[in-house]
Homo-oligomer: A and B are copies of this chain.
Amino acid sequence: MVEEARGRVTAIPVYAKLSSPHFHTAAMDGFAVRSRDTFGAGPDSPILLEIGLNAWPINTGLPIPDSTDAVIMIENVNFLNEVAFEIEKALVPWENVRRVGEDFVASEMILPARHVVTAYEQGALLSGGIYHLQVIEKPRVLLIPTGSELVAPDSLESGDPAPGRVVEFNTIILSGLVENVGGAAVRHPIVPDQFDLIKDAILAGVRSDFHLVVVNAGSSAGSEDYTAAAIRELGEVLVHGVAMMPGKPTILGVVEDKPVIGNPGYPVSSILSFEVFGLPVLEAMQGLPSHCRPTITALTARKIPSKLGREEFFRVKLGKVGDRVIAAPLPRGAGSITTLTRADGIIRIPARTEGIEQAALVKVELLRPSEAIDRTVVIIGSHDLTLDLLADELIPHNLFLSSSHVGSLGGLLALKKRTAHIATSHLLDVKTGLYNWSYIRKYIGDIPVKVIHGVMREQGFIVLKGNPKSIGGFEDLIREDVTFINRQAGAGTRVLLDYHLELAGIDPQQVKGYQMEEYTHTSVAVAVLSGVADVGMGVLAAARALGLDFLPVATEQYDLVIPEEFMNDEKMVTLLEVIRTPAFKKRVLALGGYGVERTGDEIPEPTTM
A499 to B18, CA, bound (A): 34
Report the minimum CB–CB distance from A16 to chain B (whole Å).
9
A205 part of interface (Cβ distance < 8 Å) = no
Contact bitstring A121-160, B, C-beta under 8 A = 1, else 0: 1111011010100000000000000010100011011001
Using a CB–CB distance below 8 Å, which chain A residues touch chain B?
A: 1-3, 6, 13, 17-25, 27, 29, 57, 59-63, 74-75, 93-94, 98-110, 112-115, 118-124, 126-127, 129, 131, 147, 149, 153-154, 156-157, 160-161, 163-164, 166-167, 169-170, 172-177, 179-180, 220-225, 265-267, 271, 287, 289, 292, 294, 333, 335-341, 369-371, 388, 391-392, 395-398, 516, 522-523, 525-527, 529-530, 532, 542, 545-546
A6 to B177, CA, bound (A): 10
Q: Could you tell me if A267 and B123 are in contact, using CB atoms closer than 8 angstroms? A: yes
Q: Could you tell me if A398 and B289 are in contact, using CB atoms closer than 8 angstroms? A: yes
A102 to B57, CA, bound (A): 75
A222 to B58, CA, bound (A): 8
A6 to B179, CA, bound (A): 11
Q: Could you tell me if B157 and A106 are in contact, using CB atoms closer than 8 angstroms? A: no
Q: Could you tell me if A63 and B163 are in contact, using CB atoms closer than 8 angstroms? A: yes
Q: Give the chain B neighbours of A123 by CB distance below 8 A.
A: 169-170, 172-173, 267, 271, 337, 341
Q: Give the chain B neighbours of A59 by CB distance below 8 A.
A: 222-225
Q: Could you tell me if B530 and A122 are in contact, using CB atoms closer than 8 angstroms? A: no
Q: Which residue of B lies closest to A387 (CB)?
A: B109
A131 to B292, CA, bound (A): 32
Q: Could you tell me if A131 and B105 are in contact, using CB atoms closer than 8 angstroms? A: no
Contacts known (A119-B173, A153-B126); A392 close to B223, Cβ less than 8 A: no
Contacts known (A112-B391, A153-B131); A122 close to B160, Cβ less than 8 A: no
Q: Give the chain B neighbours of A271 by CB distance below 8 A.
A: 120, 123
Q: Give the chain B neighbours of A100 by CB distance below 8 A.
A: 526, 529-530, 532
Q: Could you tell me if B122 and A60 are in contact, using CB atoms closer than 8 angstroms? A: no
A103 to B522, CA, bound (A): 11
Pick 11 A–B contacts, CB within 8 A, sort by A. A57-B223, A59-B222, A93-B516, A98-B335, A99-B526, A101-B527, A104-B336, A107-B545, A122-B173, A129-B160, A294-B371
Contacts known (A62-B149, A119-B175, A267-B127); A102 close to B335, Cβ less than 8 A: yes
Q: Could you tell me if A106 and B545 are in contact, using CB atoms closer than 8 angstroms? A: yes
A103 to B529, CA, bound (A): 15
Contacts known (A99-B527, A154-B1); A119 close to B172, Cβ less than 8 A: yes
A233 to B60, CA, bound (A): 24
Contacts known (A335-B25, A371-B292); A173 close to B120, Cβ less than 8 A: yes
Q: Which of B126, B174, B221, B339 contacts A172 (CB 8 A)?
A: B126
Q: Give the chain B neighbours of A371 by CB distance below 8 A.
A: 292, 294
Q: Could you tell me if B341 and A392 are in contact, using CB atoms closer than 8 angstroms? A: no
A109 to B387, CA, bound (A): 10
Contacts known (A106-B545, A388-B109); A18 close to B169, Cβ less than 8 A: no
Q: Could you tell me if B29 and A169 are in contact, using CB atoms closer than 8 angstroms? A: no
